[in-house]
Amino acid sequence: MSAAMELNDRFQWPADGVVRAPYRLFSDPDIYQLEQERIFRGAVWNFLCLEVEIANPGDYRTTTVGETPVVVTRDRDGAIHAMVNRCAHKGALVCLKKKDNVASLNCVYHAWNYSLDGRLKGVAFRNGLRGHGGMPADFDVAKHRLQPLKVETFCGMVFGTFDPSLGPVEGYLGPEMAQFIKRNLGRPLKILGTHSQIIRNNWKLYAENLRDSYHATLLHTFYTTFKVNRLDMDGGIILSDEKWHHISFARRANMQEAEEYNSSLHSANYDSALDGPGLLQSWNEFDDGITHSIQTIFPNLCVQFTLNSLAIRFFAPRGVDETELFWIYLGYERDTEEQSQMRVMQSNLTGAAGLVSLEDGCINEFVQRGTRTSPEAMSFMEMGGREVRSEKNSRATETAVRGFWHGYRQIMSF
């Protein structure tokens, strides 16, 4: 019996549905392996990199899809390609740097050489030496290449999939998600900075956390004290048609102070001021009034916009209980120097050493440690009801987390 069949045999989703998630999901190595196959190498569009990271012919950028190493290239004609970064000879990594500019791709092990689109061009000692050795006469370079992924770009992002039959990215996103990505990323982008961190939790705890609008103003006390993002601001949750992706949004100007904050949250009443008020200095960027948004794209991408801090978060599994989290802080090419500086200043809110989201790296590990010895126990997610649907007037809901599990169950056949 295959591991997947055995797993389907002993793993049953609770009868209550997506209002529960069994803790086994965060610690079982068989489930983790099956996710690599059914999700990351399955029918999803994976974020690979930004177009600006491979702006010039000959540029490459390495990344991973799930745990599979992948290289994205731009060829001499400007076309973008993505391939598994695994030599067709013995499987060594071919591209070893995070990024580089090269004439062709060369494996260091036995010097097999590939063009920028992954086709095999040269094999060292193919004809042997002095009439001896070499490849058999029927060896055909055209039959060996780096395994290609299907690639598409959308709003400056490069996506890849292992499923050649998957439709276009825009259809995968759905109209509302695509429109909001265009709002945030639909003009020439400029990278302001990047960093990454290892978090010691299963990747799905981070996928949940990003969709968890309930925690944002409770765990992140800075948001509450300084009124950057609170549930008593006008805001809500939009789920994509398939419920896999989501947008959480808030309008800072429309806040009606709620009693709940004063009774249960000390941080709402802190009488604090910033020594450097420039941190929260911002300008109105869009006419829809939205000042804070978190958008997730299944399985592992997030676009965030808080005040004027625009960033992409992308998280890649590194084992059943370890995840690597990447941050790319962005501005627009059209930004003035002052605007760029304001975005950089506001980026201090988030990230590994930021004022807000350092707590997320920590809290997800707390969940991992709290749950790993109780695979049969499960979470309880009924905030905002048991439905999985958009809630345009409130973020006191776990509907987007339920949406993630809805998509997860579909693609995993659980």
d(CA 382, CA 374): 21
Q: How many residues bind ligand FES, per CB under 6 A?
A: 8
Peptide bond into 375 cis (omega under 30): no
Q: Find out whether 329 and 309 touch, Cβ atoms under 8 Å.
A: yes
Considering CB distances under 5 to 8 angstroms, the limit depending on partner class, which of ligand FES, Fe ion, none binds residue 90? ligand FES
What is the token pair recorded at 211? 């969709």
Q: What is the residue type of 306?
A: T
What is the token pair recorded at 273? 């001021």
d(CA 375, CA 72): 38
- Tell me which stretch binds ligand FES (CB under 6 A): 24-32, 88-96, 157-165, 293-301: 88-96
Considering CB distances under 5 to 8 angstroms, the limit depending on partner class, which of Fe ion, ligand FES, none binds residue 109? ligand FES
Query: Which one of residues 76, 97, 98, 110 is an interface residue with ligand FES (CB under 6 A)?
Result: 110
Of 88, 82, 149, 89, the closest CA to residue 117 belongs to 82
Query: Which one of residues 19, 31, 87, 210 is an interface residue with ligand FES (CB under 6 A)?
Result: 87
Residues making contact with Fe ion (CB under 5 A): 360
- Cβ partners under 8 Å of residue 35, min gap 6: 66, 317, 412
Q: Find out whether 232 and 256 touch, Cβ atoms under 8 Å.
A: yes
Query: Which one of residues 8, 38, 75, 89 is an interface residue with ligand FES (CB under 6 A)?
Result: 89
CA distances from 126 to 103, 108, 134 (A): 21, 16, 5
Query: Which one of residues 109, 125, 286, 366 is an interface residue with ligand FES (CB under 6 A)?
Result: 109
- Tell me which stretch binds ligand FES (CB under 6 A): 40-48, 104-112, 241-249, 337-345: 104-112
The conformation of residue 300, written as its DSSP 8-state character, comes to T
Closest distance of CB 314 from Fe ion, Å: 16
Considering CB distances under 5 to 8 angstroms, the limit depending on partner class, which of Fe ion, ligand FES, none binds residue 92? ligand FES
Closest distance of CB 406 from Fe ion, Å: 21
Query: Which one of residues 7, 92, 255, 367 is an interface residue with ligand FES (CB under 6 A)?
Result: 92
**Positive or negative, the Cα torsion across 17, 18, 19, 20?**
positive
Considering CB distances under 5 to 8 angstroms, the limit depending on partner class, which of ligand FES, Fe ion, none binds residue 207? none
- Tell me which stretch binds ligand FES (CB under 6 A): 16-24, 82-90, 255-263, 387-395: 82-90
Residues that bind ligand FES (CB under 6 A): 87, 89-90, 92, 107, 109-110, 112
